[in-house]
Structure 1
Amino acid sequence: MNIDDHAEELASDLGVDKEEVKADLQNLVEYSVPVDEAKQSVRRKYGGDSGGGSSGPTSADIADVTPESGNVTVTAVVLTVGERSIFYNGSEHVIHEGELADETGKISYTAWEDFGLEAGDVVTIGNASVREYEGEPELNFGESSTVQPADEDLSVPYEVGGDRDLTDLEPGDRGRNVEAKVVEVEERTIDGRHGETQILSGVLADETARLPFTDWDPHAELAEGASVRLEDVYVRQFRGVPSVNVSEFSTVDLLDREVETSGPQRMNVVEAVDRGGAYDVEVVGNVIEVRDGSGLIERCPECGRVIQKGQCRTHGEVDGEDDLRVKAIVDDGTATVTAILDRETTETVYGGTLEDALEQARAAMDTEVVADTIRDRIVGHEYRVRGHLSVDDYGANLEATDFRPTSDDPAARAEAFLEEVEA
């Protein structure tokens, strides 16, 4: 049955105008409410039987809410509140989003209407639908829902409000506030929803971490070296790490003090992998292998991907462009990571330029001699590797921004470690 048929059936049962019912149904379906649940909601609105033998949505603890819960009623504390414009079903929508919590757990929410929510409010939300978002349940509520102050106080084991350090941000966070220093920024032109669009991208830093950011509505305050407070930002995943997103609804204010920053996050490999990735991280370990695909390679001139036998996976047969790279497996005793070195860093460890590598390969009539030279130079030695670590189905990769031999005295480091353990 299509929406017209469902609307006609409901209008006949309820004795109300079909067009009104159709508008209500269409609105709920556009908000991703399943048709059967939308019909029950419309029946309740007009005072009819829900058809399921129930007088309304089930009251639920947040810990028990799943994408299969249907429509629910929850009583919760509003942890965070954010506002954002999205493109949905062919048009722009302003949504309100954040996190809710009760004594049993917390959950993300999207409100399709402005209910005036503020962090710290305790509310009862009736007739909220549940959908799956990025693998987790999310509450959705709009004009067919009710939001009222609760008759009870709730004490929840979660921080109320959006203020966070950069290291505490996670993909999916909404309504967050951070204070940070802009350490890198550039203006870029992208092909956006409305054609060519100017955005800012760069890197933010505080004492705890460094993270990439994108400003979709460029704020002049985000200048290199500026210390700023950003309110109502949301967090997405970019190359396996959290990325701060600044929107037209975000506020950016200059601080009257300088935010202190730190260098890269020093951690062991297993810690970085368990986090699902890390931006500007530093690990120390031994190079135990240089993988195939290192040394002299060819890239597609269109997309930059490595090609095999003149074939690009996307653009087919192409005339490849020569390049150098290294894929080195680094082991720090807790786990391994593949450090990927670009041409400039590879030339440093190789001890020559791309032209030198091409000349060596021509003389030997074998491109593999370049990779062999690199293996002889770095395998078995300890390196300090700095870069951006991501994790996917194929393992952990560290795009190196710095790769250099350690100058630490191993014996002194071992003694320091033992002192720390004994303390």
Structure 2
Amino acid sequence: MNIDDHAEDLASDLGVDKQEVKEGLENLVEYSVPIDEAKQSLRRKYGGGGGGESTGPSAADIADIDTESGSVTVTAVVLTVGTRSIRYQGDDHTILEGELADESGTISYTAWEEFDLEPGKTVTIGNASVREYEGRPELNFGESSTVEPADEPLDVPYEVGGDRDLAELRAGDRGRNVEVQVVEVETRTIDGRDGETEILSGVLGDESARLPFTDWNPHEELSEGASVRIEDVYVREFRGVPSVNVSEFSTVTELPDPIELGGPTRMALRDAVGRGGAYDVELQGNVLEVRDGSGLIQRCPECGRVTQKGQCRQHGEVDGEDDLRVKAILDDGTATVTAILGRDLTEQVYGGGLEDARQQARDAMDQEVVADSIREEVVGGEYVVRGHLSVDEYGANLEATAFRPADDDPAARAEAFLAEVDA
């Protein structure tokens, strides 16, 4: 049964205009509300809660809620509260979002009305619908829901408040606060929802990690080298790693003391791949292979993609521009990743520049000899690679920012590993 049929049946049952009901259903379904729950919500709105379709939302523990739960009533502690503006069907809406917890677990939420939500407060939320967000269930509550102080406060084993180190942030976090140094920042112009818009983008750092950020409402305090406290940020995934988003509702305050920056996070490949990506990570392993598409390559002058036999996947036949690249398979015994070296790092490994590579290819009448030279240099060696790791349907790829031979003692590392196992 399609939306039109559902709307016709529901309008007839409630005695209201079909088009009005259809628009209401479409609005709810667009936000991933299941059709049965959407119909129940409209029945409550128009005072027609009968019809045998709804027995009312049941009380639920957070751990028992899944994307099929429909409508629930939850008593929970508010862990975080963030504020954000979104555009829905051409109109701007201010929403509250964050995380709730009871003794059984945590769940994210979006509140479509200005409910009295404060970190640390225990509330009972009635008639909250459940939708999927970032692959997990999320509570949504609005005009048909109730939010009341609970009779008794809950004691939950979770941190109240949004303060986090950068290394603790995960995609989907809302209402977080960070104290960071602005490592890099630039002003960019994008095509926003209201036309051309200036934003800030760059890198933030603290002792634990570095992460990319975007400021959608530029704050002048976010200048390169500044140490600041940013309250009420939300986190999205960008190229497989968390990205900090600063909005018009975020506050930025300069700190009296500088934030110290930590170095890159050294991780085993298995751990880095298992977390779905990492920004400014350092991995160590052996180069097992230099993949095809390395050495002297050609890129499309329009989009920068690597061409194959003069063909760009997007722009068709093009006159490619020469470039240098290495795609090396790195293995540490726990997992493998593809380390991608751009021109500068490739020149270091190759021992020559772009013109040297062209000359070698001309002499051999085969540009593959450049990749062969690189293979002879690096395959079998152990290297430390620093960069940004993304993990997606194309595999685990590390965009390298540094590449150097490992300088530690393998025997000492083996002894340390065995001591760890024995412990």
CA–CA separation in structure 1 for the residues paired with 2:43 and 2:351: 76
Counterpart residue type for residue 275 of structure 2: R
Conserved 8 A contact 1:107-1:137: yes
Counterpart residue type for residue 302 of structure 1: E
Quote the residue 2:243 is aligned against.
Answer: 243
Conserved 8 A contact 2:14-2:48: no
Quote the residue 2:345 is aligned against.
Answer: 345
Conserved 8 A contact 1:172-1:234: yes
Deviation of the 1:340 alpha carbon:
0.4
Number of residue equivalences: 420
Deviation of the 1:310 alpha carbon:
1.2
Q: How does 1:151-300 map to 2 (within 5 A)?
A: 151-300=151-300
Deviation of the 1:76 alpha carbon:
1.0
Bigger CA drift: 206-215 or 84-93? 84-93
CA–CA separation in structure 1 for the residues paired with 2:331 and 2:28: 53
Aligned to 1:9, which of 2, 7, 12? 12
| TM-score computed with the length of structure 1 as normaliser | 0.93
Counterpart residue type for residue 236 of structure 1: R
Unaligned residue ranges in structure 2 (runs of 5+): none
CA–CA separation in structure 2 for the residues paired with 1:49 and 1:117: 28
Conserved 8 A contact 2:81-2:98: yes
Quote the residue 2:91 is aligned against.
Answer: 91
Deviation of the 1:42 alpha carbon:
4.0
Conserved 8 A contact 1:84-1:96: yes
Q: How does 1:63-82 map to 2 (within 5 A)?
A: 63-82=63-82
Conserved 8 A contact 2:7-2:25: no
Deviation of the 1:133 alpha carbon:
1.4
Bigger CA drift: 413-422 or 113-122? 413-422
**2:147 is equivalent to residue 147 of structure 1:** yes
SS at match of 2:377: helix
Conserved 8 A contact 2:7-2:21: no
Counterpart residue type for residue 113 of structure 1: E
CA–CA separation in structure 1 for the residues paired with 2:53 and 2:5: 24
Deviation of the 1:275 alpha carbon:
0.9
Counterpart residue type for residue 207 of structure 2: E
Conserved 8 A contact 1:231-1:250: yes
Counterpart residue type for residue 367 of structure 1: Q
User: Could you list the per-position Cα deviations for residues 112-164 of structure 1 after superposition, in whole angstroms to 9, with x for gaps in the alignment?
Assistant: 11102111111111111111112111111111111111112212221111111
| TM-score computed with the length of structure 2 as normaliser | 0.93
1:39 to 1:369, Cα distance in 2 relative to 1, 3 A = closer
Conserved 8 A contact 2:8-2:18: no
**2:133 is equivalent to residue 133 of structure 1:** yes
1:283 to 1:4, Cα distance in 2 relative to 1, 3 A = closer
Identity of aligned residues (%): 75
Conserved 8 A contact 1:269-1:335: yes
Bigger CA drift: 2-11 or 351-360? 2-11
User: Could you list the per-position Cα deviations for residues 84-130 of structure 1 after superposition, in whole angstroms to 9, with x for gaps in the alignment?
Assistant: 11122232221110111111121111111110211111111111111
Conserved 8 A contact 1:102-1:154: yes
Deviation of the 1:40 alpha carbon:
2.6
Counterpart residue type for residue 167 of structure 2: T
Unaligned residue ranges in structure 1 (runs of 5+): none
CA–CA separation in structure 1 for the residues paired with 2:200 and 2:285: 35
CA RMSD of aligned residues (A): 2.3
Conserved 8 A contact 1:78-1:118: yes
Conserved 8 A contact 2:40-2:53: no
1:197 to 1:265, Cα distance in 2 relative to 1, 3 A = same
SS at match of 1:329: strand
Counterpart residue type for residue 347 of structure 2: E
